[in-house]
Amino acid sequence: MAPKRGTEAYERWCQSEGFRACRDTHIGRQFTDEHRQKLSEARKRRVTSEDTKFKMSRSLRQVLHTKDWHKRIGDRLRGRHLSEDTKVKLAEAHRGKHHTEESKAKMRALFPEERRQYLADLARGKRASVQTRAKMSIKHTGHRHTTETVEKLRRPHGHHSPEHIHKVLSRSRRHPNGLERQMTAILDRLFPGEWRFTGDGSLVINHGNPDFANVNGQKKLIEVYGDYWHRGENPEQRIVQFREFGWETLVIWEHEVKGDQMQLEERLRAFCEYH
């Protein structure tokens, strides 16, 4: 019989030959559909008391939320990849399912604030390797969201509040990209001290985070669109989104920044000097 989970005796047992032999006999085994049905029916008839649930929950929290436990799990899983068949099955199993408020509360209880802060500290400032970024790029090349998905993403949710957006963007420590730095230099040269970069989440309007905002008393915004990342988008939707709160918006495309500078300056002056 295995020792109680979470004890030193259990840890020693996990390193023993008996444990490995027991584990190896179960690796690769799959229950038949009939056996799974019997297990499911048996669990439905069982009623776990609230006291037992509390003890199980407390025991799991003591075992699962330790640095040593996470290190052991990480070492065991490192380098393992799910097969495409398994990924498809998981996607099908979770499609259309949503956690209830009760379920969310239980998950929050399993991950106390100290644990969430620990995970956030681990991830803060980390960048994916060049190899990982290349894999992500290949995985998403040619992938486009459906119209239905785009509408869902644009739909305001509770977690899209200005405070939440500002919190997320400020934690990501976003800095201006090359295109935004070019636009910053142009605005500083043409209108010194009148424009500020706000793409870091410092300004959120109607669930949107504009790239540049006028700080000279005018409710005007400038958005810089990359030719690749914003291809196929309609800038008018962004303009309407900010107009609902009384802001005027000028959308500048990447090819305009890198193209005819005289024409770009004329557009900027026409927009910025018009009252």
CA-angle at 23, arms to 68 and 54, nearest 5°: 55
- The pLDDT assigned to 157 comes to 58
**Residue 2 within a domain:** no
- The pLDDT assigned to 259 comes to 92
- H/E element holding 222? strand 220-225
Higher pLDDT, 163 or 195: 195
pLDDT digits (tens, 9 = 90+) for 167-192: 666 665 568 899 999 999 999 999 99
- The pLDDT assigned to 251 comes to 96
Q: Has residue 211 got a pLDDT over 90?
A: yes
**Residue 19 within a domain:** no
Looking at the DSSP bridge assignments, the partners of residue 249 are 221
**Residue 260 within a domain:** yes
3-state class (DSSP) for residue 145 = coil
- The pLDDT assigned to 37 comes to 85
CB atoms within 10 A of CB 54: 10
Domain count for the chain: 1
**Residue 144 within a domain:** no
Q: Has residue 36 got a pLDDT over 90?
A: no
Q: Give 222's pLDDT tier (boundaries 50, 70, 90).
A: very high
**Residue 215 within a domain:** yes
Q: Give 236's pLDDT tier (boundaries 50, 70, 90).
A: very high
- The pLDDT assigned to 43 comes to 78
**Residue 200 within a domain:** yes
> In terms of residue numbers, what domain contains 182?
178-272
pLDDT digits (tens, 9 = 90+) for 95-144: 888 888 888 888 877 777 777 777 777 777 677 788 888 888 888 887 77
Higher pLDDT, 103 or 247: 247
The two tokens of residue 41 are: 């029916």
For the chain, give the longest Cα–Cα distance.
82
**Residue 111 within a domain:** no
Q: What is the CATH number of the domain that holds 268?
A: 3.40.960.10
Question: Are the C-beta atoms of residues 256 and 263 closer than 8 Å to each other?
Answer: yes
Q: Give 252's pLDDT tier (boundaries 50, 70, 90).
A: very high
Q: Is 93 exposed, middle or buried (0-12, 13-18, 19+ CB in 10 A)?
A: exposed
Higher pLDDT, 148 or 86: 86
- Cα dihedral sign for 98, 104, 107, 112? positive
- The pLDDT assigned to 255 comes to 94
In Å, how far are 196, 199, 220 from 181, measured between CA atoms?
A: 11, 11, 19
**Residue 188 within a domain:** yes
13-28: average pLDDT: 74
Q: Has residue 51 got a pLDDT over 70?
A: yes
